[in-house]
Structure 1
Amino acid sequence: MIGALVLTLPVVALLLMLFRGNGDEDEGPLKAAIVDQLSITVPNPEFILDATSKLEQAGYVVDYYPGEEVTVSFYRQLPFFNYDVIVFRSHADRLQTVDDQGNAFDEVVLFTSEPYSEERYQSEQNDNDLVIVRYSEGGDPFFGVAAGFISNVGNGFDGAQIIMMGCEGLLTDTTAKAFIDRGAKSYISWNETVTASHTDAATSVLLGHLLLEGLPPSVAVAETMAELGPDPLFGSELVAYPPET
């Protein structure tokens, strides 16, 4: 177990069917989730309305989850909902350390809004699948979801496209690879710290290219970056994983 580690922050329906991946022949509606863990600290209802509108224009039924619902249990259940697109508007940060047993740990961790408890999820804490995260040094502790948790969750992501809007989501590829190994088709995120305003603006543009125009993830990312450029404060850029998607 990593003891008291601290993380600080910084076209349509037809084309979409081609991008569902996995040869899925289900005739049910396309489904998308917006996981707005960030709503607690940096709410942006205008972005949520815009993203929901784009997803619905593209033929998706959209479920919205506010920050208060983004718990460990939520992450555990998420794969079973069979979403085709998941937009994580969530805090994230890279954790680089060595645990008590000398094991190196270098992963991007996704924040939950569940307060930390030493007594809960002890096995997953011991395996570093769940770790302690904080919004700032000395702030209240919360549970963070590491790559091991994604790898061990009881169902797959079956061709889903993952958009991780938080900081450093592709500073390393460990967490991205965990989603891909669990069946996700693609994972898009930032390679460094990003401001909330820039990730909101970029994700809105990205959704248009990716879902309304039906561009492949890597092309949609390139088009988005050509239009908006890197984050003006931190210089971070959107990246698609795997790169060839």
Structure 2
Amino acid sequence: MSRRTSRNARRVVLLAAIVLALILVAGASRWGVSDTRGDCPRGRALVADALGLDFPNPGLDSFLVETLEKAGYIVDYVNGTGVDLELYRRLTDYDVVILRVHGGKGEVKLPDGRVAVVNGLFTGLPWDDRYQELMWKWLAAKATPYHDPDKAYLAVLPGFFAKEMQGRFCPGSVVVVASCFSLYTYEIPVALAQRGLGMYIGWTGPVTVQEIDEGLRMLVDLVYNKGLNWTEAAIEVGKKLGTNEYNSTLYAVILSRQS
């Protein structure tokens, strides 16, 4: 077995382990809210691109929107500063959510000496001191993209999804987060699962813009043009892209009990 083939095999094994892990977590939780939605399915999809502020790819955005429309969805396309707090609060309005955004991680030393690891998703909003209250509540953070340390954006943390989101997802809903570190911890997908999300797809570590865009296009094409389901498509993307130069990025799918 070649080194690349071995890495791909490990990727698939890890994928299965991650899927199983969240199924167990979600199945053991008590949400206290019925999973039945009278208005489901809604047939709405969201394509949100804040990464385009720094790395525009209008061809990819057009492909995503057109492919979803051909599949029968009513598609909302939001870019730039339109990717804001209110949009993140209302992700439950959609059956399919595709986020092309910056992502990051951080480590915070707690008073007892332990180190807490957290990850977050950027909005398209430039940082402003009026967001400090959200920061003190551990709902948001001031975030700097790796390519430009002079820039700062508002990023949302897992606590934002747990405390600020409104409504519930329809059963079987999918969120694809095309960003670095979107699966660095399970906290964001677990928070979304508590709102009824069926599937979460993301990257566990650093990834280049080229890899993000190639993987996203391939994933959507496999689902809507080649007839694979989301799990099959994510595994196939993982096989084709392999492990990147950082040797830490894996394409993965997480399922909740809604799937």
Counterpart in the other structure of 2:142: 132
Equivalent residue letter for 1:187: Y
> How many residues in Structure 1 have an aligned counterpart in Structure 2?
220
Deviations 1:143-168 (A, max 9, x none): 11000000112323333200000001
Counterpart in the other structure of 2:245: 233
Equivalent residue letter for 1:203: L
Identity %: 23
TM-score (norm 1): 0.79
Counterpart in the other structure of 2:31: none
Paired with 2:80 and 2:110, the residues of 1 have a C-alpha distance of 29
Unaligned residue ranges in structure 1 (runs of 5+) = 1-21
C-alpha spacing 1:213/1:107, structure 2 compared with 1 (3 Å):
farther
Match of 1:105 among 116, 123, 134: 116
Counterpart in the other structure of 2:51: 38
Paired with 2:47 and 2:153, the residues of 1 have a C-alpha distance of 21
Match of 2:66 among 53, 69, 72: 53
Match of 1:68 among 81, 97, 100: 81
Match of 1:193 among 197, 203, 206: 206
Counterpart in the other structure of 2:223: 210
Counterpart in the other structure of 1:6: none
Q: Secondary structure at the match of 1:119?
A: helix
Paired with 1:184 and 1:243, the residues of 2 have a C-alpha distance of 7
Question: After the TM superposition, which parts of structure 1 deviate over 6 Å for at least 4 consecutive aligned residues?
Answer: 100-103
Cα RMSD over matched residues? 2.6
Greater shift after overlay, 171-180 or 98-107? 98-107
Q: How does 1:74-153 map to 2 (within 5 A)?
A: 74-76=87-89, 78-79=90-91, 82-98=93-109, 104-120=115-131, 122=133, 124-136=134-146, 138-153=149-164
C-alpha spacing 1:148/1:242, structure 2 compared with 1 (3 Å):
same
Paired with 2:64 and 2:143, the residues of 1 have a C-alpha distance of 27
